[in-house]
């Protein structure tokens, strides 16, 4: 098993941080790709971030009311070793739109 | 077919002689529950994308097997920004929404047919439009969910003259509500600010009076606990009850007018309410 960490993605419009409203998953949960993970609020709007991949949640960062900067760790997944190498791939099935997606920070190993 | 995948288009059905240039999308669920379509009406200075897609509403409804109709209000999102003020009047918008719903396949309610009729979910200004739409379309609308609803439209008190002076030469706006609404409208590059001012001007000519016509279908009213723009939700529910309508209320702890929209409790309550 490998761990994959996803930071808070760039939310566009020059926003540099977001406040956690509510986590919709907990450590230990098995989540599906596109399953809602967390609600966050910026100075302009509130959004729900979908899971960029399937996997088991290992850690979540920040609780309701906490501010997280873009690029800081948001959630860590445990995934089978053979899939850890492809997590950086941008999902292609969606029609092109500006929906914010998380993308992985790959560990040095 | 993938859930959430859709082809949106500029709606071009002429209503009362002019094309409303509304951007409409019909979203098909992967597993259709066989229920009537759901029409989503977004709030002032928002869009289908901001109010319903980015917040997780669209995918939650599709996952529940609902067919969803989204429409950007005039001057908002990907809809056109007509120059004539009449395109922005609430009565004209309601007529356009009716046409949009019919073109998307909604049909009048038939007893015992769960695929007939239309469910409507509105937020803020969208709730005002949904209230009036439900009141005037009893043969079509099955149930209403009204998010962040109010007895009065805050846009009716908007100081248009002050806003125009501010836009022309930066003269500060004294009225805090006006300044806040304009700031919100300017924060989004997709907004056509002059179209939004036309909408406000049109709203002033047709102020919201929920007691004038009360919807008779079941309603669910939902607002954040600290949403000052929906502080009069209980009076709205009372008005509905006095008219003999069923109006349930749900308050979302700790939420305000901006962040009540993403609430899971809101979505789950709405989906459950509309499914029964």
pLDDT tens for each residue of B167-219: 999 999 999 989 998 998 888 777 889 899 999 999 999 999 999 999 999 99
Distances (CA, A) of B55 to A86, B26, B207: 27, 18, 29
Q: What is the pLDDT of residue B276?
A: 84
How far is it, in rounded angstroms, from Cα B49 to Cα A91? 19
B268 touches chain A (CB under 8 A): no
CB pairs under 8 A between A and B: 55
The pLDDT of residue A13 is above 60: yes
pLDDT digits (tens, 9 = 90+) for B223-255: 999 998 899 999 999 999 999 999 999 999 999
Least confident of B19-28, B31-40, B210-219, B267-276: B19-28
| Contact check, Cβ <8 Å, A36/B59 | yes
In order, the DSSP letters of A11-52 are -STT--EEEEEEES--TT-EE-TT-EEEEEE-SS-EEEEEPS
Distance from CA of B267 to the nearest CA of A (A): 12
The pLDDT of residue A90 is above 50: no
Band (pLDDT 50/70/90 cuts) for residue B2 is: very low
Minimum CA–CA partner of A23 in chain B? B264
| Contact check, Cβ <8 Å, A45/B6 | no
CB B144 within 8 A of CB B131: yes
Starting from the edge strand earliest in sequence, which strands make up the sheet with A36-41, in order?
A46-50, A36-41, A17-23, A67-69
B28 touches chain A (CB under 8 A): no
pTM of the entire predicted model: 0.89
The pLDDT of residue B144 is above 80: yes
A46 touches chain B (CB under 8 A): yes
Structure tokens at B100: 């949009």
pLDDT digits (tens, 9 = 90+) for A15-58: 899 999 999 999 999 999 999 999 999 988 899 999 998 999 99
- Chain A residues within 8 A of B60 when measuring between CB atoms: 36
So what's the architecture of A2-84 in CATH? Beta Barrel (2.40)
- Average of per-residue pLDDT values in chain B: 92
Give residue limits of the domains in chain B. Answer: 8-155+207-275
The pLDDT of residue A91 is above 70: no
Q: What is the pLDDT of residue B189?
A: 77
The pLDDT of residue B8 is above 90: no
Q: What is the interface pTM, i.e. ipTM, of the complex?
A: 0.83
**Which superfamily does B8-155+207-275 belong to?**
Alpha/Beta hydrolase fold, catalytic domain (3.40.50.1820)
At B262, which helix (H) or strand (E)?
A: none
B262 closest CB neighbour out of A21, A34, A100: A21
Q: What are phi and psi of B51, to 5 degrees?
A: -80, -35
How far is it, in rounded angstroms, from Cα A46 to Cα A24? 14
**Selected residue of B51, B54, B186, B224 to mutate for chain A interface (largest A Cβ count, 10 A):** B54
The pLDDT of residue A81 is above 50: yes
Q: Tokens 């999102």 appear where? A: B77
Band (pLDDT 50/70/90 cuts) for residue B3 is: very low
């Amino acid at each position: 098993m490998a761990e994959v960490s996803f930071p808070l993605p760039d939310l566009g419009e020059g926003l540099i941080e977001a406040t956690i409203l509510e986590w919709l998953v907990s450590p230990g949960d098995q989540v599906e790709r596109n399953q809602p993970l967390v609600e966050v609020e910026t100075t302009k709007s509130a959004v729900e971030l979908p899971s960029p991949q399937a996997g088991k949640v290992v850690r979540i960062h920040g609780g309701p009311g906490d501010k997280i900067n873009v690029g800081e760790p948001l959630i860590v997944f445990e995934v089978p070793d053979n899939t850890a190498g492809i997590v950086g791939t941008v999902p292609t099935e969606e029609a092109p739109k500006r929906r914010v997606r998380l993308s992985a920070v790959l560990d040095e190993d | 077919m993938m859930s959430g995948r859709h082809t949106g288009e500029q709606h071009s059905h002429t209503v009362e002689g002019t094309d409303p240039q509304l951007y409409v999308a019909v979203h098909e669920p992967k597993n259709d529950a066989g229920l009537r379509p759901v029409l989503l009406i977004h709030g002032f200075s928002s869009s289908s994308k901001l109010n319903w897609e980015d917040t997780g509403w669209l995918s939650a409804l599709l996952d529940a097997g609902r067919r969803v109709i989204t429409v950007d209000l005039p001057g908002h999102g990907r809809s056109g920004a007509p120059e004539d003020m009449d395109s922005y009047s609430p009565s004209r918008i309601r007529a356009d929404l009716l046409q949009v719903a019919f073109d998307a396949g909604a049909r009048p309610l038939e007893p015992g047919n769960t695929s007939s009729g239309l469910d409507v979910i509105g937020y803020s200004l969208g709730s005002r439009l949904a209230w009036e739409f439900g009141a005037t379309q009893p043969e079509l609308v099955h149930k209403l969910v009204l998010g962040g609803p109010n007895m009065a439209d805050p846009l009716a008190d908007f100081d248009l003259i002050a806003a125009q002076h501010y836009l022309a030469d930066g003269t500060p706006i004294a009225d805090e509500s006006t300044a806040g609404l304009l700031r919100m409208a300017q924060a989004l590059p997709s907004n056509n600010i002059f179209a939004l001012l036309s909408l406000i001007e049109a709203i002033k000519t047709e102020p919201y009076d929920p007691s004038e016509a009360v919807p008779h279908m079941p309603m669910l009213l939902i607002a954040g606990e600290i949403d000052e723009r929906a502080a009069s939700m209980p009076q709205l529910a009372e008005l509905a009850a006095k008219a003999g309508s069923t109006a349930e209320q749900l308050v979302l702890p700790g939420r305000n007018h901006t962040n009540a929209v993403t609430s899971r409790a809101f979505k789950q309550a709405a989906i459950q309410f509309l499914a029964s």
